[in-house]
A and B are shown apart, each in its own frame.
Chain A
């Protein structure tokens, strides 16, 4: 088990180095960093001086190494636009995005799995047919349209929930959370639902399809022939077997919840990393973009690492080498 995790960790580091390289190339070669730093009156000599001071004349690998060492210490340079350290900017926006993503992921997983199991077990019922029809909407409608629609119904017409922002937040020193205030929670509902809808329907359809496949297997028939209760068969024998493919897709999808938050955050003016990224793109704030790229890469690597470990936990057949193969 430990060896397996170390192996996966090693692979993760290689992936992160590749991401860092792309990010570095963007940082270094998309536009001229010096040109965007100095004022218009600066002479060419001044620019050369700055270039020398920033180490931009050093060989490529030296610069890359420096970039990585800085990134490891959380130093991503200074935002061109806001003139504050990028790391501080990201840290101030991170809690909003993470809280939104976690809430969405939880909703997507719980509702998706429950609805998927329900529709698989009651294939013919009108409720299942209704859920399936609804799921098509979730898969096919673009996120921003759903968000605007929800705002129109629940914020404008019914006036139950706020239409934008994060509400009041409580500062815990290192983390500013919206979970602890009423307005914070109320503001979270609409964006979380919007963000989760696509993954929710995807997970649901996947669970349903896998479940139907598993229910056809011999070991389910054999479990029935052993007189086990319906509950034990459906939720212990069948559901566990659907989990391997579901974990794969859900894992990838949860990673993309972070990136998908971009649109949702814009629609709801949610003060997260996604909206920070968008406003940075508008003014070519390269250090922020580079840091965002690394952050997203990091999230995907972590999620995939967790997925790999979960495989190992769920499916004994994948525990290679660790167990004795007897005959």
Chain B
């Protein structure tokens, strides 16, 4: 057996904080073999990113790194001074970071950043470096690299930018690439392409990869071997197939169970089939919510002048003639890539955005009808947002956050009643009512999303629009929140519009699904029909692109 490319022995990262020491990474050891893709998986706070950062020597104070040894192809790279480390970063270890939108400097062209990196590490002149940069971009699958090299990062889409980042990481022929959540910020279809590019380029060059991600599906797709981390320690190591099919540790088992698989049938559908009333959709009463021929046109023309004269007009059909209906007590899932118009739909349904054309009917009345309709809309329709860190006002107490809709809409008469209702709601979302005195920052992401759900419930709505309610959460937390949402649906008879790019979540939660592509509803129907026998090509492509642990042999 050959020597490992990277060998880490007893790596620890400790943060010396005022409240005491916090151990982010605790004495972990692992090897990466030449040409191997090692997946590092774990939930947020598991210390996986910190491990990558520590190997690069990029841990900032007050963090302190200690290790018995870290060797890169036999050379010790721990405990080096800044200057020697800088010769390793980029040159011998390349890095790909999570968010391609922020990891490139917006003020320099892609070419400038590539050439700068190449010339820093390789003895090439400006012209040779430029030729190499073009070659790298071409390798990473960027069309017409000779033209695109002089473009600025904002002129590239997210997926293209991540290709640029990968070219940057590979610019100086490193021996190892550390990819930290390289696809988490991207759409599924783009995600699949990026994984493919990363895998191909590394295989061609014989580069070893350390692939850090929270997404088990990505690991299943790309990695050979994997490490499961929890609370700074390695829980389990093994080949990907072994761990996914035969996990040994309780933590790994829990983690894998929590992942909704796209291959799993909808539990409610399965139950309905078991009861033998498969075709009950036809007998339900009139739909609660109907979207009729919804359209939204944004005019992005550069100036009033061009708007008037029609020169340089730039009109974006964000949503184009979308119709669907949701029956009372059911969940409708809306899926699609970013830019497909999902969130615009949500904003029109909730009444934040007036549709250019078409109607939103709630119990048969248009929500834009008149003042009464608007008041009704406000109490009957609520929304849960994607990022529970941003959607709760950090300067308000939890109790006030939840009570706000009641106060605004005059649902409760006095403070005593409000307090009682808030306590009741907190209890319903499985939080202790005493937390109403606390502030949002004292809660974890999952708890915050529960608070957001309690706030949505406080106006006693019938219809809740959930815009990516779990995409900012860890898988195990996601499972809990989804479970809670299903329970509340049964308890309160709620109707959901679930917007998500995560197809597995939609399959698990929804009764019916609509697939949006460039603002057009390409397919709509019962969830099992669409997932097991998609008709539209786009739906099929979307389903195929999903990295899924069930694909591992």
Contact = CB atoms under 8 A, between A and B. Distances in A.
A binds B: yes
A241 B102 CA distance: 13
Interface string B136-177: 000000000000100110111100100001001101100000
Given A217-B102, A222-B103, A316-B107, A228 B90 contact: yes
Interface string B78-113: 000010001111110011011100111111110000
A326 B121 contact: no
Given A222-B103, A241-B105, A326 B95 contact: no
Contacts of B86: 227-230
Contacts of A237: 105, 108
A228 B302 contact: no
A53 interface: no
25 contacts: A218-B103, A222-B165, A222-B168, A223-B105, A225-B56, A226-B168, A227-B89, A227-B121, A228-B116, A228-B117, A228-B120, A237-B108, A240-B105, A240-B107, A240-B108, A241-B105, A315-B106, A316-B109, A317-B154, A321-B302, A325-B155, A326-B151, A326-B155, A327-B157, A327-B160
A241 B97 contact: no
Interface string B482-521: 0000000000000000000000000000000000000000
B44 to A, nearest CB: 17
A47 to B, nearest CB: 50
B550 interface: no
A66 interface: no
B103 A315 contact: no
Contact of A324 (B120, B155, B172, B312): B155
B496 to A, nearest CB: 32
Nearest to A220: B105
Given A217-B102, A222-B97, A326-B148, A227 B120 contact: yes
A323 interface: yes
B152 A317 contact: yes
A225 B106 contact: no
Indicate the member of B58, B103, B169 with the most A CB atoms within 10 Å.
B103
A314 B107 contact: yes
A224 B105 CA distance: 12
A42 B87 CA distance: 89
A219 B157 CA distance: 17
Contacts of A320: 302
The 7 closest A-B pairs by CB, nearest first: A227-B90, A227-B89, A225-B95, A226-B90, A218-B102, A222-B103, A316-B152
Contacts of B91: 227
Indicate the member of A227, A229, A241 with the most B CB atoms within 10 Å.
A227
Report, as a range, how many residues of chain A touch the other chain. 20 to 34
Interface in A207-233: 217-219, 221-230, 232
B177 to A, nearest CB: 11
Contact of A221 (B97, B172, B312): B97
Interface string A147-179: 000000000000000000000000000000000
Contacts of A229: 86, 120
A323 B302 CA distance: 13
Nearest to A225: B95
A241 B107 CA distance: 7
Nearest to B171: A226
Nearest to A315: B107
B302 A226 contact: no
Contact of A219 (B104, B172, B302): B104
B48 to A, nearest CB: 16
Interface of B: 56, 58, 82, 86-91, 94-95, 97-99, 102-109, 116-117, 120-121, 148, 151-152, 154-157, 160, 165, 168-169, 171-172, 302, 312
B113 to A, nearest CB: 8
A202 B162 CA distance: 38
B150 to A, nearest CB: 10
Interface of A: 217-219, 221-230, 232, 237, 240-241, 314-317, 320-321, 323-327
Indicate the member of A225, A314, A325 with the most B CB atoms within 10 Å.
A225
Indicate the member of A222, A223, A226, A324 with the most B CB atoms within 10 Å.
A226
A223 B82 CA distance: 14
Nearest to A326: B155
B89 A226 contact: yes
Contacts of A221: 58, 97, 103
Nearest to B107: A240
Nearest to A317: B154
Contact of B58 (A225, A228, A326): A225
Contacts of A240: 105, 107-108
A314 B106 CA distance: 10
A248 B538 CA distance: 47
A225 B302 contact: no
B106 A241 contact: yes
Contacts of B102: 217-219
A88 B63 CA distance: 67
Nearest to A214: B105
A225 B96 CA distance: 9
A217 to B, nearest CB: 6
Given A225-B89, A314-B107, 19 more contacts: A218-B98, A218-B103, A219-B106, A223-B105, A224-B89, A225-B56, A225-B94, A225-B95, A226-B90, A227-B88, A228-B86, A228-B116, A228-B120, A237-B108, A240-B105, A315-B107, A317-B154, A323-B155, A326-B148
Given A225-B58, A227-B89, A237-B105, A326 B156 contact: yes
A222 B114 CA distance: 12
A227 B152 contact: no
Contacts of A316: 106-107, 109, 152, 154
A35 to B, nearest CB: 47
Contacts of A323: 151-152, 155
A321 B313 CA distance: 11
Contacts of B172: 227
B168 A224 contact: no
A238 to B, nearest CB: 9
Contacts of B107: 240-241, 314-316
A123 B91 CA distance: 29
Contacts of A314: 107
A240 B107 CA distance: 7
Contact of B106 (A223, A317, A325, A327): A317
B117 A226 contact: yes
B296 to A, nearest CB: 21
A59 B312 CA distance: 44
Nearest to A244: B107
Nearest to B159: A327
A23 to B, nearest CB: 30
A32 B84 CA distance: 78
A181 to B, nearest CB: 43
Nearest to A321: B302
A304 to B, nearest CB: 20
A224 B88 CA distance: 11
Contacts of B148: 326
Contacts of A219: 102-106
A242 B197 CA distance: 34
A228 B82 CA distance: 11
B333 to A, nearest CB: 27
Nearest to B86: A227
Contacts of A241: 105-107
Contacts of A324: 155
A326 B97 CA distance: 22
A327 B163 CA distance: 12
A118 to B, nearest CB: 19
